[in-house]
Amino acid sequence: MERGIHYYDWQMFNEAILEFNKSKFYYMSKSNKSYDDIKLLAQTHYNLAITYSKLGMFDKALADANYAFNLIPNKEYREIIGLIQKEIK
């Protein structure tokens, strides 16, 4: 996921998405997920949501934001859902 964050910081959004998806599939494929794994998976979906938003891909962004919130329902993930929903309207 770190590489994805670097790509995002460098505004290389498509590359960031590829890296975040690698991270997502890694954590999703683990059969016995720890709480830390679930937190990292949620963070990966959150990062994807932000990156998709930067590219104007709000439907994908909303799907990932909702997934993150369903895994770890916190204020940060709820707020990004609201921001994306405003962009869709």
Encode the chain (89 residues) as per-residue pLDDT tens digits.
899 999 999 999 999 999 999 999 999 999 999 999 999 999 999 999 999 999 999 999 999 999 999 999 999 999 999 999 999 98
Q: What is the pTM of this model?
A: 0.95
Supply the DSSP string of 2-71, one letter for each residue: HHHHHHHHTT-HHHHHHHHHHHHHHHHH-SS--HHHHHHHHHHHHHHHHHHHHTT-HHHHHHHHHHHHHH
Please, what are the domains in the chain? 2-88 (1.25.40.10)
pLDDT at 89: 80
